[in-house]
Chains A and B, each alone.
Chain A
Amino acid sequence: AQRVTQPEKLLSVFKGAPVELKCNYSYSGSPELFWYVQYSRQRLQLLLRHISRESIKGFTADLNKGETSFHLKKPFAQEEDSAMYYCALRRGSARQLTFGSGTQLTVLP
């Protein structure tokens, strides 16, 4: 069965410091992984996906199949990065998502 694990419920860093949000997955097929973000009083929205290999708002995430990980990284955190971050695995013909439990990131001034 598929599973997504985000070990940190809460993460605090200072502005300008590097940040890494961890995500590990288990899935028997070829994984498609995503990071979704929910800013305060806003809807849940897609941040980035592993296939595109792009940087969004300074964030990157590399799929490591050997370690079954998809950690989200940013070299210099900003206060506006404070939000709830969810790692998600897509599966099935209907593209349904399995979400991790989320990490609340707080960037301190």
Chain B
Amino acid sequence: DGGITQSPKYLFRKEGQNVTLSCEQNLNHDAMYWYRQDPGQGLRLIYYSQIVNDFQKGDIAEGYSVSREKKESFPLTVTSAQKNPTAFYLCASSRLSGRSSYEQYFGPGTRLTVT
């Protein structure tokens, strides 16, 4: 079954704890992205990566970290420094060239609740 997967679907953490959200794709896409979705604010870009072992900050990177050790995987860590971590997190991937390079494919999302 091809596609992009995120786990877990729901995640609960206590304030002050770091938490890592998983994102895996088997589409052989070069680029991967993390977005945060909040009601009334749409999606905002946290981090993105065009190639293994390289990644760039998006618009709201503070309090987050990522790694890209494998092409297929782009985990996001929400650190205790993130002031308002409760949100819905979406991972996406895309080609960077060739057919369908204009389209981003999204995972099902992880809803993180921090109390």
Contact = CB atoms under 8 A, between A and B. Distances in A.
A binds B: yes
Contacts of B58: 96
Nearest to B103: A46
Interface residues of A, number: 23
Given A43-B106, A46-B103, A51-B102, A97 B40 contact: no
A74 interface: no
A86 B41 CA distance: 11
Contacts of A101: 40-42
A96 B33 contact: yes
Closest 3 CB pairs of A and B: A101-B42, A99-B43, A99-B42
Interface of A: 4, 6, 9, 32, 34, 43-46, 49, 51, 86, 90, 93-102
Interface of B: 31, 33, 35, 40-45, 48-50, 56, 58-59, 90, 94, 96, 101-104, 106-109
